[in-house]
Structure 1
Amino acid sequence: MYEPIRTKSVHSTMAGTPSDFPHRSREEELDIQLAGHLAALLAVTDELRALTPSADLDTAAQRLAGELSRLRGGTPLRAASTAADGDPLALHRKAHALAGRALVVAASRADTAAAILSAERMDAHTAALAADPRELTTTG
């Protein structure tokens, strides 16, 4: 009634058995996550720069690009933003969330420079949201 399995399992459950596929270390995974969050934050920052140009956003974009270069070892790919009709408040909310995620990962990997940059960006986006009176009302 029961026939034993004759082929090797695709799941390596035995301790000490070498795997057939490469594994990344925790540090490599955190590097990839942090670079992804910072790249997304840079993209949103570039969109904000297209909508509301400012020296603060220009500086932030340069610093984010510098961190990405450090993490990835090259110049980050940046697309020219064509967002002329976007909602700045929605972009600030999105950037705040991305900066928060980057902060968590940067703290997890003990990357002080990225953590400081992420925290500064969170503060800047919080200030931008607080400066808009529409954000203070809960209706319509």
Structure 2
Amino acid sequence: MYEPIRTRPVHSPGLPSDRGGPLAGAAVPRQPRAEHLRVQLAGHLAALLAVTDELREDGGSPELDEAAHQIAQRINELSPETSPVRIWEGSRPAGGPVAVLAALHRQAHTIAGRVLLVAASRQDTTTAMLACRRMDAHAAALKAVPTAA
């Protein structure tokens, strides 16, 4: 009475490769969670390095130089095939030098917090401690800036 269905319905769940579509036979790239977190952590560290470099330009200190070295070293450990990217793509905060300095420290503190969260997810104690030290340093620097209150 009814003709049996010989192909899978169009609306069935599954990948296009399962249905014989344009991606038939192509493997869908899947990143394991650990790899995704490693890449995410390296990206956050690169952002922290960029802000640290900006702070070093505005008034470098030996502490910022050492922090930049530690961050770059940690990035190299996470992704040894690439060198750390030191590009600042954020917009430069508006205002005078004191306002710019405070804004950069706030941004660095926020990014270090993100580094801490991802490092905790990876159970990466070394990076988590580095992030905590950077958060403490930027919080102290914010308190020292006269108009940051």
The two structures have a TM-score, normalised by structure 2, of: 0.75
Verify: 1:76 aligned to 2:84, yes or no: yes
Give the RMSD, CA atoms, in angstroms: 2.6
Q: Which has the larger radius of gyration?
A: 2
TM-superposition CA deviations, 1:6-59 (whole Å, max 9, x none) = 4585734x9xxx983010000001001100100000000000000011000000
User: Would you say how many aligned residue pairs link Structure 1 and Structure 2?
Assistant: 126
Secondary structure of 1:24 counterpart: coil
Other-structure match for 1:24: 31
Secondary structure of 1:21 counterpart: coil
Task: Please give the residue correspondences for 1:54-65 in structure 2 after superposition, counting only pairs within 5 Å.
Answer: 54-65=61-72
> For residues 105 and 19 of structure 1, do their structure 2 counterparts lie closer, same or farther at Cα, with a shift above 3 Å needed?
farther
Amino acid in structure 2 at the alignment position of 1:100? G
Aligned partner of 1:97 among 110, 121, 131:
110
Aligned partner of 2:148 among 132, 135, 139:
135
Secondary structure of 2:129 counterpart: helix
Verify: 1:115 aligned to 2:115, yes or no: no
Distance 1:59 1:27 in 2: 28
Amino acid in structure 2 at the alignment position of 1:66? Q
Distance 1:9 1:44 in 2: 48
Aligned partner of 1:50 among 51, 57, 73:
57
* Gapped regions of structure 1 (runs ≥ 5): none
Q: Once structures 1 and 2 are overlaid, which stretch shifts more, 37-46 or 68-77?
A: 68-77
Q: CA deviation at 1:107?
A: 0.6
* Residue identity (%): 48
The two structures have a TM-score, normalised by structure 1, of: 0.80
* Gapped regions of structure 2 (runs ≥ 5): 1-6, 19-24
